[in-house]
Structure 1
Amino acid sequence: MLFLLLVFTMAEDTGEIGTMQFFKTLVMMLFTTLGFCFYTGALAAETLSEDLFTHKIQPLFDNRCLACHSCFNAPCQLNLQNFDGFARGANKFNVYDGTRSKSVEPSRIWIDAKSTKEWRAKGFFTVHNSIEPEKNIFFQVLNLRAINTSSVKAQVHESQVCAANSEELNAMKSAQPQLGMPYGLPALHEGELETIKAWISKGAPGPSMDADKKAHSIPTKLQPQVEIWEKYFNQNELKQKLVSRYLFEHLFLAHIYFPEEPRTFLRLIRSKNPCNKPDEIATRRPNDDPGVKKFYYCFVKFPGTIVSKTHLPYELSHQKLARFKELFDQKWDVQTLPSYESGVAENPFVAFQDIPVKLRYQFLLDDAQYHVATFIKGPVCNGTMAVNSIQEQFYTFFLNPDSDNMVLSRDYEKQAAPLLALPGKFGSDVEFTSAPIDLKRITDYREAYRLLRSKELIKNRPDGYTLNDIWNGDEKNNNAALTIFRHDQNAVVMKGAVGDLSKTVFVLDYPLFERLVYNLVVNFDVFGNLGHQLLTRVYMDMIRMEAEELFLRFLPPEERLQYRRTWYQGILTSAKMEYIFPPVGAGEPTGVRFTKGTQTKRQMVEKILFYRMNEKVRGEIDDINWKKVTPPASSGLKVNATGLNKEFRKISSIAAESSSPFARYFPDVAFVMVKGKDQTRVFSLIHNKEHENVSWITAESLRMSPKEDTLTVREGYWAYYPNMIFQVPEKELPAFTSFITRIKNEQGYEALVDKWGVRRQNPHFWSAYDELQKVYLDYDRINAGYIDLTRYSL
């Protein structure tokens, strides 16, 4: 357009100038303009080639490496979520060593060191030791897989081997060639290897300055909102300082996003500097003393690629800010701020006693799914410590804030607070010899609290809890009913009552909810010693039993102990329960009316879902899995599965007894990609492994009840560590489900995998994985992240 305008202007101004001269000038301008265009294009191409990392290498890392190399469970901590991780390199130290006698220094990427030099001082070694690909550790490990495609016999977490130098690399190539990367999966194809090779030869350069700045900078579009939030967090009034500390300790793990750009994620940090130049304070825990008199709460860009196992999205918006102000700007006062001393900082009932309990509880309830998910993904990205103390599937409801003892009585709150001491008060180094004494102390506090709570409940509710004492989501919040599914060493939290009637049920009040957050998230140190980890795990047992006990208080007193016995089977377990968790309030009445002669647990769940909650709160009917849960006739609702759901219903919620044992042969979780003509829909197929009890840390395999195992099927991505991917053309889905119902043994399941499964060594594995990831991003842009393959079936 500019060129035509210039031509038109020249034509008007030619005047006496001859036509020939005009066209000579016109041709010169044309070539000059074209030359400029060609130059600009060449310059752009050159710039593109200079930023090889951003345009070629990081996408390769994302699609082929992040399946294993992210978070602490990455082999040798080699994290490839961005260039910082590659430059940091690897470390042979096992973060998840639960036997260490002393705590170790944290090694959180982007937090615990700010330069490659600092990481070297922490024991991390480079994987880019040479610009010659033939000598380069990183390239040679990739190339090793290309030339040795033999299958592997151990999972990734069992093969924490890496080469720190050329000598170790040569030894590994000779003795353990199966350790080539991607571990146990198809090798990178020739073009991908050539791309890595060319990058290595150039010195493995990082992203361009512009790309690096973009990766670490908050987009201009979001800066006004970020400034508003930073101003909110950094007000000088004591009241706001306390609120900001409380919010930070609950949001420090969050991947914060704004609706305007839902795939741009931020972190909330404490900074030594003002937020225009943030400098993160790297404490072990978010409630540790920051070590400086003046600090700032700031937002920083999350600089790496998102992976599902650590992804905890939390939305901030104008509406959320208004909600925070509605909650915390009410009339209450702060005289002095709490210290960060032991006995205060790790006990939220002491540290935040000036904030009214109802406000704190309502904050948790507003986003209950997020807060419960932090227990599972937590600061560790591997939920072993928490999840081996819970059942495979259970519903969770919440006590109405207006029914909570702590909300109802300030005097009761003051009596209860010191009894709610948590294991975090003993720090990251708990001497093994003192652990039993510390545990006894914590247990005594807990038992005193249980008695106090029961007496207060009798005073407040002499006739027992009623249905109205269950939180109904204020008739609009769908966080009021949650379901937790455990997948071996990890778990997932879903909204609604998903899956058939669960074996156990939680009801959380404020003290239970807050203790879960502080025991498993805020106070827990994955770098702590054996004693610290042991106390954390045992206290989780206590919380689980209290949450189950609170649900039982809604049932008829004559049935409570019987339910408890079915949840805790075994002679030793029964004795343990009588000793460490004797019944309290088992004979007190309930205000809920039940029909005699039918299952009261089932009745209570149905009353909560269909009489206490509306459809917006409880979510859609689970027409695939509900077989024991039945909507009342008066509701006009029916469990009526159609389409794909009808097919999956044929295999869901069927006990793995002798006539239908198929469920017990499935892995923890599989993704089923149902490929239709116009779209691919993904369903999670979850194996619920039933237990006689979950009361012990070890020997879990001796306490299984396989005849009670079932499958739950749910559309969507409800796992972060899948064990198998099935690809099923939609027209073959009836054959797929029919095949499953006929599985009688391991060989039957292997035949299913042979027909529809995608094994690790399948040459088309990566195309299936790529499609799975693409559909994930299309299906759920906020929650989508790269899926982990460290537990994929061998």
Structure 2
Amino acid sequence: MHQYSFKIFRRATIITFVVIFSGCATYLGLNYDYLYGKQEPQPRIVAATDVQAEHYTNDIKPIIDNRCVVCHACYDAPCQLKMSSAEGIDRGANKDKVYEGTRLLAAKTTRMFIDAQTTDEWRKKGFTPVLNERLQSPEANTQAGVIARMLTLKKNHPLPNEQILDDSWDFSIDRDQQCPTIEEMSTYEDKYPEWGMPYGLPQISDRENDTLMQWVSSGAPMTSVASPASNELAEVNKWEAFLNLPSLKQQLTSRYIFEHLFVSHLYFDTEDIRQQGTPTFFKLVRSKTAPGEPIDIIATRRPYDDPKVDSFYYRLEQVRETIVDKTHMPYALSDEKLDRIKSLFIEPDYTVTALPSYEPTVAANPLMAFNELPVEARYKFMLDDAQNTIMAFIKGPVCRGQLALDVINDHFWVFFVDPDLPHLSQSNEFYRSQAKNLTLPAERESNTLRPISNWIHYAKQQGRFLRNKNAFMDEQLENNEHLTTKLIWDGNGSNTNASLTIFRHFDNASVVQGLIGEQPKTAWVVSYSLLERIHYLLVAGYDVYGNFGHQLITRMYMDLLRMEGESNFLALLPTKNREEEFADWYQDANLHLAEYLEGDVNEFDKPTEVIYKTDNPKKELLQMLKQRVEKVMPSRYLLESSKLSKESEKYLLKINQVHGESASIFPELTFIMVEPKDRSLDPQLFTLVRNSAHKNISSLFDEESNRVYERDTMTLVNGLLGSYPNAFWRTKESELPALAEQVLKVKSDDDYKRLLDNYGVRRTDPAFWSFSDALIKQYKKNHPINAGVLDYNRFQNR
């Protein structure tokens, strides 16, 4: 007893000495070194066959996924702490923000599983541990680990007993992040006693807390993902063999496929794998090692950067992170898909004479780099999975970004030029002639200077391209085609990608198949060259770690491409209506954009051959295009696809009627769970989307000045749409009449607060986590391939 008391006295003396004589919190690290030894990464990752691995997989990982990953995943994870994999947890945290819109120089990349492969390598890149890396004892593991201390802090200081948290809580996406190291935890605990984890959400249950604390106490053993099934590995071998065939035609085809699918989650869609349940997902990567050997990934900023090796191989690497909705883009591989790729790229009779350079001036311009691949093949490859192609603009290299997304309207429809039009086969020569007009900002890489003057340069370049394209199209329309709705792809009567709806939710967005909601303000008609350039602007060429100039010029150039898609749509309207409609879309546009709008983008004056019968041709045109793609319109988001009664659907439709300033009171995304009267049915899920109206979307920084609240609308859809819910509602089917009535009465923030009092599940609600579990469980049951863990970083405090 005397010896134990002496040890306590000695530790207390050391702590007092260090605090008094250092006067600096950072020196408290000496205390931890003395008490528990020097810090160094621990061998936590155990084999999948280990009994500890089973405990982690069955008991620990589900808690982490459902309580931690909902905020800690992707580039926008607070403190770069990605808890979606064992390796990410072991990597730890970093005080630097990935989303830093004011940086003058590009940041060093810190992509999980790419830029470093071991925890020790991450330490050298500035990541600090959140698990104890000193003496592995129960005391040290709980006292010298950030996660353990954060859990304890939350348990000792749960959320205040109030519905809405006060202003001391900051839930803005650009909030200051503390990111304390273990040496800084005492200061953090004193200064922010209520900021334990999960931040600003209810404490996890005592059972969950005890389970996690026991795991941490035992050293936090973890395991990586289980290996794929043998039949999946056989598919991996088949696809890797195909992608690495040696001919120039094959090499160029594989490069094209890689540069378009590198952000997708690939899975094998075969009968036997479907019967196994949720498939394994893979990423297409470049490796220094050949198929059959462990992957040695080639880490470049962009997929078209020089690999700087004599030879490399395209490999399928297993996704090792929890599938989260905001980055999940499933892409099916099958024998049919392989045959389709061969029929597009390999079987046609053409010759590839040389592989394109990896120099940025070539590689960043797909219309030049791949000019020896048939245009029809490239376009059809992207159109076959057009939702995936366009979704990559939003879910690909970024998890959020107002700078990138305020370049699109909140709700619009997308159509595509028919890939079987005769002029496509003649387009390659035209694109070759436009080499100087088709360069993209990414050729300047990640440190772009003078973005405004660069924009003027690219605007002039785009103007020249449009004038030449209009002349080319004039010739084609004169000789081969007619300016009618038959120019629009109808999905060949079977492909549901023929029409898309895009919803923007301030700094994130969603892409869904079909034409959802009421007729929108704008629409795009996308051609091959436009689709390709947007991909290389916003996906292949975009660097989330780039400097301010790179991100700004990317956003500004997207203005030009968006207007090209809009003007393609307007070309089907009567000539007299085109300018009038464009003027309405771009009220009070900035000076540079106004000059551009008055010139190049409106050059096309070929009369439409669409016959109109009313004085509202835009409405007529959208209805005609809707009829054009009607056969391939999916029903997933239609309210009548729910299992509620027809009477209940009437009340849901009433909610859909909210518009104007009343609509502006609601958040961008509200997820609704309805308990059916028939208790044998599963809970029914819905999403209420607010569509914010703007005078124009050309302003970079002052969105508020462009808002037109009286034009705001709402769209209610069946199922979940979006990855970042702002609010949860819970109701019974029998309560829908009362819910609809109260929704229609919302005219102020106080009215909305009363609505949440009756139906909302606020972030402070003790039932928040049980509701979250039920919601995600039902989402995954409804859509096991497409669903992923949601993100709560934008959940409101109202």
| TM-score, with length taken from structure 1 | 0.88
The reply on whether 1:254 has 2:258 as its aligned counterpart is no
CA distance in 1, matches of 2:174, 2:448: 27
* AA in 2 matched with 1:241: Q
**1:623, distance to aligned residue in structure 2 (A):** 6.3
Change (3 A) 1:160 1:77: farther
* AA in 2 matched with 1:118: E
The reply on whether 1:648 has 2:648 as its aligned counterpart is no
CA distance in 2, matches of 1:490, 1:695: 17
Partner residue of 1:775 out of 751, 775, 778: 778
Residues 698-750 of structure 1 deviation map (CA, whole Å, 9 limit, x = unaligned): 10011101111111011111010000110111111111111101111111111
The reply on whether 1:378 has 2:378 as its aligned counterpart is no
Aligned residue for 2:434, secondary structure, equals helix
Partner residue of 1:606 out of 623, 633, 642: 623
CA distance in 2, matches of 1:337, 1:161: 46
Asked if 1 retains the 8 angstrom alpha-carbon contact of 2:244 and 2:314, the reply is yes
1:414 alignment counterpart:
432
Aligned residue for 1:382, secondary structure, equals coil
Aligned residue for 1:751, secondary structure, equals helix
**What are the equivalent positions in structure 2 for 1:693-708 lying under 5 Å apart?**
693-708=696-711
Asked if 2 retains the 8 angstrom alpha-carbon contact of 1:307 and 1:787, the reply is yes
Residues 430-458 of structure 1 deviation map (CA, whole Å, 9 limit, x = unaligned): 12xx3333323222211100100111111
1:183 alignment counterpart:
199
Partner residue of 2:97 out of 77, 94, 97: 94
CA distance in 2, matches of 1:758, 1:443: 48
CA distance in 2, matches of 1:72, 1:231: 33
The reply on whether 1:313 has 2:313 as its aligned counterpart is no
CA distance in 2, matches of 1:263, 1:382: 27
**1:779, distance to aligned residue in structure 2 (A):** 0.6
Asked if 2 retains the 8 angstrom alpha-carbon contact of 1:308 and 1:784, the reply is yes
Aligned residue for 1:133, secondary structure, equals helix
Aligned residue for 2:414, secondary structure, equals strand
* AA in 1 matched with 2:734: K
**1:121, distance to aligned residue in structure 2 (A):** 0.9
CA distance in 1, matches of 2:436, 2:424: 13
* RMSD of aligned residue pairs (Cα, Å): 2.2
**What are the equivalent positions in structure 2 for 1:431-450 lying under 5 Å apart?**
431=449, 434-450=450-466
CA distance in 2, matches of 1:370, 1:497: 16
Change (3 A) 1:60 1:413: same
Asked if 2 retains the 8 angstrom alpha-carbon contact of 1:560 and 1:586, the reply is no
* AA in 2 matched with 1:372: I
Change (3 A) 1:723 1:336: same
* AA in 2 matched with 1:518: Y
Aligned residue for 2:472, secondary structure, equals helix
CA distance in 2, matches of 1:356, 1:743: 55
* AA in 1 matched with 2:129: T
CA distance in 1, matches of 2:74, 2:595: 40
Aligned residue for 1:527, secondary structure, equals coil
**What are the equivalent positions in structure 2 for 1:641-790 lying under 5 Å apart?**
642-656=646-660, 661-676=661-676, 677-678=679-680, 679-790=682-793
**1:466, distance to aligned residue in structure 2 (A):** 1.1
Change (3 A) 1:748 1:273: same
CA distance in 2, matches of 1:429, 1:404: 41
CA distance in 2, matches of 1:198, 1:773: 26
**1:581, distance to aligned residue in structure 2 (A):** 5.6
1:547 alignment counterpart:
565
**1:646, distance to aligned residue in structure 2 (A):** 2.2
Residues 563-620 of structure 1 deviation map (CA, whole Å, 9 limit, x = unaligned): 00111112x54773234662433532011111142x111111111121x2342x1334
Asked if 2 retains the 8 angstrom alpha-carbon contact of 1:664 and 1:706, the reply is yes
1:559 alignment counterpart:
577
The reply on whether 1:530 has 2:548 as its aligned counterpart is yes
Which protein shows a greater Rg? 1
| TM-score, with length taken from structure 2 | 0.87
CA distance in 1, matches of 2:355, 2:150: 54
Aligned residue for 1:479, secondary structure, equals helix
Residues 112-159 of structure 1 deviation map (CA, whole Å, 9 limit, x = unaligned): 100001101111010113534134211111221222223462116344
Partner residue of 2:186 out of 170, 179, 188: 170
**1:166, distance to aligned residue in structure 2 (A):** 3.4
Asked if 1 retains the 8 angstrom alpha-carbon contact of 2:141 and 2:218, the reply is no
**1:650, distance to aligned residue in structure 2 (A):** 0.8
2:796 alignment counterpart:
793
Partner residue of 1:619 out of 626, 631, 634: 634
* AA in 1 matched with 2:198: P
**1:476, distance to aligned residue in structure 2 (A):** 1.0
Change (3 A) 1:622 1:157: closer
2:500 alignment counterpart:
482
Asked if 2 retains the 8 angstrom alpha-carbon contact of 1:226 and 1:299, the reply is yes
CA distance in 1, matches of 2:425, 2:403: 31
Change (3 A) 1:426 1:451: same
Asked if 2 retains the 8 angstrom alpha-carbon contact of 1:392 and 1:487, the reply is yes
2:374 alignment counterpart:
356
1:502 alignment counterpart:
520
Residues 16-71 of structure 1 deviation map (CA, whole Å, 9 limit, x = unaligned): xxxxxxxxxxxxxxxxxxxxxxxxxxxxxx96456432222211110100110011
CA distance in 2, matches of 1:246, 1:684: 36
**1:652, distance to aligned residue in structure 2 (A):** 1.3
Asked if 2 retains the 8 angstrom alpha-carbon contact of 1:671 and 1:724, the reply is yes
Residues 753-779 of structure 1 deviation map (CA, whole Å, 9 limit, x = unaligned): 010100011001000000001001111
CA distance in 2, matches of 1:526, 1:163: 21
* AA in 2 matched with 1:642: K
Asked if 1 retains the 8 angstrom alpha-carbon contact of 2:437 and 2:462, the reply is yes
CA distance in 2, matches of 1:50, 1:229: 31
Asked if 1 retains the 8 angstrom alpha-carbon contact of 2:459 and 2:596, the reply is no
CA distance in 2, matches of 1:95, 1:622: 34
* AA in 2 matched with 1:92: K
Moved more, 763-772 or 297-306: 297-306
**1:499, distance to aligned residue in structure 2 (A):** 0.5
CA distance in 2, matches of 1:199, 1:173: 22
2:145 alignment counterpart:
136
**What are the equivalent positions in structure 2 for 1:93-112 lying under 5 Å apart?**
93-112=96-115
**1:696, distance to aligned residue in structure 2 (A):** 1.2
Asked if 1 retains the 8 angstrom alpha-carbon contact of 2:571 and 2:604, the reply is yes
* AA in 1 matched with 2:461: Y
Asked if 2 retains the 8 angstrom alpha-carbon contact of 1:396 and 1:506, the reply is yes
Asked if 2 retains the 8 angstrom alpha-carbon contact of 1:652 and 1:713, the reply is yes
Aligned residue for 2:789, secondary structure, equals coil
Asked if 2 retains the 8 angstrom alpha-carbon contact of 1:51 and 1:206, the reply is no
2:7 alignment counterpart:
none
Aligned residue for 2:728, secondary structure, equals strand
CA distance in 2, matches of 1:501, 1:725: 27
Aligned residue for 1:785, secondary structure, equals coil
CA distance in 2, matches of 1:135, 1:68: 23
**1:506, distance to aligned residue in structure 2 (A):** 0.4
**What are the equivalent positions in structure 2 for 1:191-202 lying under 5 Å apart?**
191-202=207-218
The reply on whether 1:272 has 2:288 as its aligned counterpart is yes
Moved more, 100-109 or 190-199: 190-199
Partner residue of 2:303 out of 275, 286, 289: 286
**1:647, distance to aligned residue in structure 2 (A):** 1.7
Change (3 A) 1:445 1:167: same
Asked if 1 retains the 8 angstrom alpha-carbon contact of 2:180 and 2:188, the reply is no
1:35 alignment counterpart:
none
Residues 65-88 of structure 1 deviation map (CA, whole Å, 9 limit, x = unaligned): 011001111110100111101110
**1:309, distance to aligned residue in structure 2 (A):** 0.4
CA distance in 1, matches of 2:584, 2:733: 41
* AA in 2 matched with 1:669: L
CA distance in 2, matches of 1:488, 1:437: 27
Asked if 1 retains the 8 angstrom alpha-carbon contact of 2:639 and 2:718, the reply is no
Change (3 A) 1:573 1:648: farther
